[in-house]
Amino acid sequence: MTTYNRPSYLERAVHSVLNQTYDNIELVVVDDHSETPASETLSEIDLSGLAADQCVRHEENQGANAARNTGIDAASGEYIAFLDDDDRWVPEKIERQVAAFRDGPDELGAVYTGLKTEQGDGFNESIPPEIDIDLTKALLCENVVGSLSVFMVRADLAAKVRLDERFPCWADLEWYINLSRHAEFERIPDPLVIYESDSHNRLTTDIKKKQAGYDLFVEEFSPVAKEYGSLFYRKMRGWAAYRLGASAYYRGFYSRARQYLTLAVVMYPLESSFFILFVASLGGKPVHKTVRYVRS
């Protein structure tokens, strides 16, 4: 579990670990140099129900991906599960993922679940789609796995394939693609993670980080996409541009949104969702407000 400057969220997340129906859990909290050390928050929580626990603190802020790699290095278990400090696990999550590993083939390297998003007084469930094609190929276009909080990976595989610390965002997708080239994934189609949509300081809110992630993603995976042919390469580029354009649009950066949504349509005009959001972006803020009103 990585944490930075969110002690109240950290406490709730830790309690969701303590409430797991699977007993043999080691909790590794990596404090990415919070103003209030995470160890102070943890000192107020009874961790005696865990098999082991430790808190590792960075001497300076290094970012979420470096913190995750630190946690991987510190962990001693056979499997590693991730939990962002502002997410929570439902009680049976770890038990079900471990069971999937135990029952799965030797080639199984990762197990992931669905999630439910907490919005006000209710929840919206999100179940990852069933993938009947090459998973690497699917991931090159879309994150069909989800956030790292739904993810469990074999420790030996995580030690071999590292998170790329250059990525300020999209690092989970980058990692999934590289992991999928070494091992099989299994999906549990149930929402076993709670995601709080209005939590503060999520990486996904920074459009500059999205831009940097986009640039790195295209640089790293263009050669991989070309292995599937020129048309698929254009599809991958279109989806990458669409993700960045959509992020810009929903955060009110309409000029930048139009730039990348135009690129998405040009690269892969066969995807209707690219064109629909591009048209919406032409209307700027008035159309965006109307869309939000209709959705609500």
pTM of the model: 0.93
- Using H for helix, E for strand and C for coil, what is the string for the chain? CEECCCHHHHHHHHHHHHCCCCCCCEEEEEECCCCCCHHHHHCCCCCCCCCEEEEEECCCCCCHHHHHHHHHHHCCCCEEECCECCEEECCCHHHHHHHHHHHCCCCEEEEEEEEEEEECCEEEEECCCCCCCCHHHHHHHCCCCCCHHHEEEEHHHHHHCCCCCCCCCCHHHHHHHHHHCCCEEEEEEEEEEEEECCCCCCHHHCHHHHHHHHHHHHHHHHHHHHCCCHHHHHHHHHHHHHHHHHHHHHCCCHHHHHHHHHHHHHHCCCCHHHHHHHHHHHCHHHHHHHHHHHHC
Residue 233 exposure: Cα atoms within 13 Å on the Cβ side: 12
Gap between the Cα atoms of 224 and 96, Å rounded: 33
Gap between the Cα atoms of 71 and 195, Å rounded: 21
204-250 pLDDT tens trace: 458 889 999 999 999 999 999 999 999 999 999 999 999 999 999 99
pLDDT score of 203: 44
pLDDT score of 293: 60
Nearest to 112 by CA among 81, 73, 80, 152: 152
Nearest to 193 by CA among 17, 3, 4: 17
Tokens 């006000």 appear where?
120
Residue ranges, the chain, pLDDT below 70:
198-205, 291-296
Integer CA distances (angstroms), 247 to 149, 210, 251, 252, 254, in order: 21, 8, 6, 9, 10
Gap between the Cα atoms of 294 and 260, Å rounded: 25
Integer CA distances (angstroms), 265 to 90, 236, 283, in order: 39, 12, 17
Residue type, 114: G
pLDDT score of 199: 55
Q: Record the tokens describing residue 135, joined without a space.
A: 């998973």
Gap between the Cα atoms of 268 and 282, Å rounded: 19
In this chain, the answer to whether the domains covering 2-196 and 206-295 adopt an identical fold is: no
Strands, sheet with 52-57, edge to edge from the N-terminal-most edge strand: 2-3, 26-31, 52-57
pLDDT score of 292: 66
Q: Which fold has domain 2-196?
A: Spore Coat Polysaccharide Biosynthesis Protein SpsA; Chain A (3.90.550)
Instruction: Report strand pairing: 87-89 vs 184-196.
Output: antiparallel
Q: Record the tokens describing residue 212, joined without a space.
A: 């940097």
Segments making up each domain of the chain, as ranges: 2-196, 206-295
CATH 3.40.600 holds for 206-295: no
